[in-house]
Amino acid sequence: MTLSTKNIVLIVFALLLSGCESMTVSECKVADWSRVGAADGAKGESDRRIADYTEDCGKAGIVPNAKAYRRGWDVGIVQFCTAANGWREGVQGHSSKASVCQGQTGYSAFSRYLEAGLEVYRLNEKIQRNTREIARLQDKLEASKKDDEKKDIRADLRHLDREQFRLRNMLTQQQFLKP
């Protein structure tokens, strides 16, 4: 039995869609909604995630306990909205989590350290871009036959080297802010 390309595409599509489910039917049946909310809050998920559970579990005729979910989420989000988590999210480049902490007790520290972590992320990105450009220019320098062109490339490399030094110093200073 051979599968047609169309059937393979349909199978892959179905697998991708099933990966979008927030919760399986069997998970819906045994869910402790307070714990689910606490776990989501502790991961920095929005409290609106309950809508996903309502949709997915509703297909099986199961209605999540929204009040229990919210009570759990309120506990979990306090664990998430900390300076340390703000720093971690920022260093990973995840700026979208700031909104979930708005209005929470730890919002001020979370957002301050999120921004500091995002600066570390941005500096690392610049350093990586410069490193790639340095490698490109070094290859160009090796391939060049003209002295004037080599001189210009060396000047560009010196400029990038100074920029890398400056960025690394900024990165070191920024990392002192880690909570």
pLDDT band with cut points at 50, 70 and 90 for residue 46: very high
One domain for residues 66 and 122: no
2 within some domain: no
pLDDT of residue 22: 80
- Look at 19-28, 36-45, 140-149, 167-176 and tell me which has the smallest mean pLDDT: 19-28
- pTM across the whole model: 0.77
Q: What is the tally of structural domains in the chain?
A: 2
Alpha helix positions (H), the chain: 5-18, 25-30, 33-42, 49-58, 66-80, 83-91, 98-101, 107-143, 147-175
One domain for residues 36 and 48: yes
Alpha carbon distance 97, 104 (integer Å): 12
6 within some domain: no
- From the CB of residue 98, how many other CB atoms can be counted at a distance below 10 Å? 19
Q: What is the pLDDT of residues 21-36, one digit of tens each?
A: 788 989 999 999 999 9
149 within some domain: yes
pLDDT band with cut points at 50, 70 and 90 for residue 126: very high
In this prediction, residues 10-21 reach a mean pLDDT of 40
One domain for residues 134 and 178: yes
Domain end (from 80, 115, 150): 80
Domain end (from 32, 58, 80): 80
One domain for residues 151 and 134: yes
Percentage, residues of the chain above pLDDT 90 = 80
One domain for residues 148 and 74: no
pLDDT of residue 97: 84
pLDDT of residue 32: 96
Mean pLDDT of the chain: 89
pLDDT of residue 55: 93
93, burial (CB in 10 Å: exposed 0-12, middle 13-18, buried 19+): middle
Q: What is the pLDDT of residues 91-112, one digit of tens each?
A: 999 998 889 999 999 999 999 9
What residues make up the domain containing 30? 23-80
